């Protein structure tokens, strides 16, 4: 029989069985609800307040959301697109290299070198992240906690006039630098945050970091880590160590304040702080951090040399050509890669040769003018080191020169306070009188007698330039006279060296290219070439006698030779060797001014020759650049040679934008850096090769027996050349060449002034040319000028009876034209038209006898037009 309670749960059965009989009989009652307590007035008010507060809070949240949304829409309107960041190309400077890929110059508005993410060493990326944005890899473009902290701080600063506190992540810095301006306000910070979040969503962290590390301003006009690595450490980015990477990472916060050159202590302190943060972030070990913090700040930067020494004139000329061809923007921001024809070793040799020549002339003729400054001589004995340390280095000082302070000056020597050694330790040295005897004191603006005591020139407190060791210093000064030198390969026109003055830092005016000067007798080879093209033989007799011209205004032009003498009938080759003005003018009268003008034009020395006889002896304006190119065309037997500075130009991705005409470019861009480009140039033939060869042989006579002898002393290779000296000795020239190289030299004052009596092109420029060419021709074979087919070399007599070798065309023979009478003679007006003025016409019977050195007639000899020698 079943239990009656089986339908109840076990727990309930237990409860029912435990009741008392009375409880079992009483029915169950419903529980009564508790009575609500009556609230007082205060309670009701408090309740209303709480309820209202909740409602207001809700409304505030809603309003905040609405306002924030409105502000977001408001500040988002008109924001720049971030699409430009995806295709961003930084402004890259143009990099110019020499023929062997040595860096010559960097040109642009900012120094920057673009590197890809893969080219950025992890140590560099980690240093910047630890310094600037430790949460970079995980944040959404902004750091909310940093923003709140900065916001609260900025609110507290309202009205203080202080700059708002930044909270910029790396992404925000990219936005600020590349999409917005750097002016920090609350509005720009909001816009910056909005754009940073957009950038973070649209671009990868690697892309953002690459942009940042390529465009960040790191001081000294260096933008990006690759450029800064070269600026501060003179090494590529890939070679930076931990300490150097941290030094760069210290700069974005304040590039000037943490500049390691200007503020080494502050830079070192922040560098070590960043190294500590890198250790805390786990990107370097404690041992690495300790080693890095012990490293010197700038172990290499102070000794870094940027670019090719003394390459400024060449670099400026290249820049001018690049701007003309590609435009200023492309040069400043296009990242062009330019390979030039410059040979650094020859450039150095050219610079030294020109400076040595100018210094030699200066010591011989210009006296003492080299005082840099005069300092108070009070306390010199104890304070000269500090005074010297404060003095800036004068522009144009040669390597090996240094500043010195005269401490005392006596009869035989002066005591000089200067520096010694590579570290510039202050020392005292001795300047003997023998090493400054050239320094003639100036009297009424002109050099006086040579000093017999150092005290005649130097005084205590004088700041001067010296060279040499401390036991025997030499007095130095920067010359007032200037000069220029150009050297090129005549086969190609590639300019291998160019110097435009004493120093580019002293004067960037390029006298090789920009200075318009009279070439004097250096134009005569083109006059004589014109005669050769008309069939005149090198040994044909020409009159070296009086030459008279009636000017259009009625005055008489009667030039003379350098020596104020004339020799009568002389062979044409002798007239060129001795640079005889009168014989040249008579020869020009024979061949005609129009023919000579055409030769001048064809060889490019002038666009249009003035139609006057003084032009044929150098009374025209031209440049050393044009004259050297004309001589290169002579070297090439009349094939026009166009000078070239640039071999090739490529853009940053390697696309060739330009290469020299007719250049075989297998090795122009990525070839062997020690091998110059293989060129196969062509140019129009502007003169008869046989006639040019006759000129080459005659120009060899110039340097063997004539005015150019000083240029070739000690040189065994065959050389052809010509001197040039203008009226009043204002300009000195020598241009000469071998089959493989042509070099031109000019010396003069910027404001045309006499170099002094007898300071001719051979005496002034010859030694400069000689010094340079001995370097350029070193280890070069002795290759003679090739004789064209059918031409013969035969001996003919000089006026003194010596036999010399000249070239003859197939239908010519020595002496064949001797019976044709003298070339020239007669008298023309200045423009070449006939004149019959009996007062000025020379009498043929009055011509001097052959070989005569009689002085010219008493009539005025006008040397103001044309060359002298």
Task: Check: CB of residue 526 under 8 Å from CB of residue 695.
Answer: no
Q: Do residues 741 and 778 lie in contact, with contact meaning Cβ atoms separated by under 8 Å?
A: no
- Where helices occur in 108-169 by DSSP H, the ranges are 122-132, 144-156
> Which candidate, 481, 361, 395, places its Cα nearest to that of 750?
481
Question: CA-CA distance, 572 to 595, in Å (whole number)?
Answer: 18
370: left (phi > 0), else alpha (psi -120 to 50), else beta? alpha
Strands (E), 7-150: 94-97, 103-107, 111-112
CA distance 557 to 544: 16
The secondary structure of 261-323 as a DSSP string is TT-HHHHHHHHHHHHHHHHHTTSS-HHHHHHHHTS-S-SSGGG---S-TT-HHHHHHHHHHHH
Q: Distances from the Cα of 503 to the Cαs of 207, 309, 312, 316, in angstroms?
A: 45, 11, 9, 13
66: CB partners within 8 A, 6+ apart: none
- Among the options 132, 192, 215, 577, which is catalytic? 132
Rounded Cα–Cα distance for residues 379 and 460 (Å): 11
Around 229, how many Cα atoms within 13 Å sit in the side-chain half-sphere?
22
- Check if the beta carbon of residue 479 is closer than 8 Å to that of residue 730: no
Per the annotation, the verdict on 93 as an active-site residue is: no
User: Is 521 tagged catalytic?
Assistant: yes
Q: 3-state class of 849 per DSSP?
A: coil
User: Quick count: other Cβ atoms within 10 Å of Cβ 683?
Assistant: 16
Q: What would the two tokens of residue 50 be?
A: 């709480």
Q: Kindly list the distances between the CA atom of residue 304 and the CA atoms of 83, 104, 309, 498, 680, in Å, as whole numbers in the listed order.
A: 40, 14, 12, 24, 38
Q: Which residues pair with 619 in a beta bridge?
A: none
For residue 809, count other CB atoms closer than 10 A to its CB. Answer: 18
Q: Give the integer Cα–Cα distance in Å for 243 and 245.
A: 5
Q: List the one residue out of 625, 587, 589 whose CA is nearest residue 605.
A: 625
- Candidates 479, 522, 485, 760; CA nearest to 620 is 522
The two tokens of residue 753 are 């002034």
Q: If you search the block for the tokens 């094939």, which residue do you land on?
A: 639
Structure tokens at 578: 């001795």
CA neighbor of 280 nearest in space, from 706, 550, 181, 272: 272
CA dist., res. 500 & res. 298, Å (int):
35
Q: List the catalytic residue out of 408, 521, 522, 633.
A: 521
Q: What is the DSSP letter of 853?
A: -
Catalytic residues: 132, 521
């Amino acid at each position: 029989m079943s239990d009656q309670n089986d339908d109840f749960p076990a727990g309930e059965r237990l409860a029912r069985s435990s009741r008392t009989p009375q409880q079992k009989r009483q029915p169950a009652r419903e529980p009564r609800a508790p009575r609500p307590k009556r609230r007082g007035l205060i309670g009701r008010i408090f309740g209303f307040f709480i309820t209202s507060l909740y409602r207001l809070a809700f409304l505030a949240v809603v309003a905040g959301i609405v306002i924030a949304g409105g502000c977001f829409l408001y500040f988002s309107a008109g924001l720049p697109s971030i699409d430009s960041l995806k295709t961003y190309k930084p402004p890259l400077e143009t990099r110019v290299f020499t023929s062997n890929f040595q860096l010559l110059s960097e040109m642009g508005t900012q120094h920057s070198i673009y590197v890809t993410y893969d080219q950025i060493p992890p140590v560099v990326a980690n240093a910047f992240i630890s310094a600037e944005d430790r949460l970079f890899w995980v944040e959404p473009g902004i750091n909310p906690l940093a923003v709140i902290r900065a916001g609260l701080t900025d609110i507290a600063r309202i009205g203080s006039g202080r700059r708002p506190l930044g909270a910029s992540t790396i992404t925000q810095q990219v936005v600020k630098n590349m999409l917005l301006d750097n002016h920090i306000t609350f509005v720009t910070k909001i816009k910056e945050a909005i754009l940073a979040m957009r950038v973070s969503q649209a671009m990868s962290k690697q892309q953002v970091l690459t942009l940042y590390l390529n465009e960040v301003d790191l001081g000294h006009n260096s933008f990006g880590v690759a450029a800064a690595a070269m600026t501060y450490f003179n090494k590529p980015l890939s070679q930076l160590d931990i300490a150097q990477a941290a030094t760069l990472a210290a700069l974005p916060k304040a590039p000037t304040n943490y500049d390691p050159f200007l503020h080494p202590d502050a830079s070192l302190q922040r560098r070590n702080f960043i190294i500590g943060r890198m250790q805390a972030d786990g990107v370097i070990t404690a041992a690495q951090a300790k080693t890095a913090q012990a490293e010197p700040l700038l172990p290499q930067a102070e000794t870094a040399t940027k670019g090719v020494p003394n390459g400024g004139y060449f670099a400026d000329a290249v820049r001018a050509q690049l701007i003309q061809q590609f435009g200023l923007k492309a040069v400043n921001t296009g990242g062009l890669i330019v390979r030039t024809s410059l040979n650094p070793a020859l450039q150095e040799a050219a610079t030294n040769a020109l400076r040595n020549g100018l210094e030699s002339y200066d010591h011989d003729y210009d006296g003492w003018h080299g005082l840099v400054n005069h300092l108070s001589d009070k306390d010199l004995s104890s304070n000269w080191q500090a005074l010297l340390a404060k003095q800036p280095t004068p522009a144009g000082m040669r390597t090996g020169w240094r500043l010195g302070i005269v401490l005392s000056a006596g009869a035989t020597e002066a005591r000089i306070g200067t520096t010694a050694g590579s570290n510039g330790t202050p020392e005292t040295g001795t300047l003997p009188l023998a090493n400054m005897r050239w320094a003639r004191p100036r009297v009424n603006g002109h050099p006086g007698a040579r000093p017999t005591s150092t005290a005649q020139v130097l005084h205590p407190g004088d700041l001067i330039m010296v060279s040499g060791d401390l036991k025997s210093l030499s007095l130095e000064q920067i010359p007032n006279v200037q000069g220029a030198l150009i050297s090129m390969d005549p086969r190609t026109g590639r300019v291998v060296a160019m110097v435009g003055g004493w120093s580019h830092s002293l004067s960037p005016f390029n006298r090789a290219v920009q200075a318009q000067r009279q070439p004097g007798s250096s134009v005569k080879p083109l006059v004589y070439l014109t005669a050769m093209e008309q069939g005149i033989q090198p040994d044909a007799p020409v009159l070296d006698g009086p030459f008279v011209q009636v000017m259009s205004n009625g005055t008489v032009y009667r030039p003379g030779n350098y020596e104020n003498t004339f020799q009568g009938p002389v062979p044409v080759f002798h007239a060129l060797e001795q640079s005889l003005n009168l014989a040249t003018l008579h020869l020009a009268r024979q061949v005609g001014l129009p023919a000579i003008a055409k030769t001048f034009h064809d060889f490019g020395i002038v666009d249009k020759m003035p139609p006057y006889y003084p032009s044929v002896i150098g009374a025209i304006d031209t440049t050393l650049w044009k004259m050297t190119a004309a001589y290169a065309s002579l070297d090439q037997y009349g094939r026009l040679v166009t000078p070239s500075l640039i071999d090739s130009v490529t853009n940053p991705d390697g696309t060739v934008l330009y290469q020299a005409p007719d250049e075989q470019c297998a090795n122009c861009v990525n070839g062997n850096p020690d091998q110059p480009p293989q060129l196969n140039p062509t140019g129009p033939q502007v003169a008869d090769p046989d006639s040019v060869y006759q000129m080459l042989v005659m120009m060899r006579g110039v340097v063997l027996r004539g005015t150019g002898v000083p240029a070739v002393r000690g040189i065994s290779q065959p050389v052809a050349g010509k001197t040039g000296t203008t009226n009043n000795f204002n300009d000195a020239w020598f241009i000469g060449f071998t089959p493989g190289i042509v070099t031109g030299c000019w010396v003069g004052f910027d404001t045309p002034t006499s170099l002094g009596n007898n300071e001719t092109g051979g005496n002034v420029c010859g030694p400069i040319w000689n010094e340079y060419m001995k370097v350029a021709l070193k280890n070069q074979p002795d290759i003679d000028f090739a004789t064209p087919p059918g031409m013969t070399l035969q001996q003919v007599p000089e006026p003194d009876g010596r036999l010399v070798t000249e070239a003859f065309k197939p239908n010519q023979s020595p002496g064949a034209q001797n019976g044709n009478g003298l070339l020239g003679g007669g008298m023309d007006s200045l423009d070449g038209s006939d004149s019959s003025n009996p007062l000025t016409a020379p009498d043929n019977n009055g011509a001097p006898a052959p070989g005569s050195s009689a002085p010219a007639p008493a009539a005025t000899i006008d040397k103001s037009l044309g060359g002298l020698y």
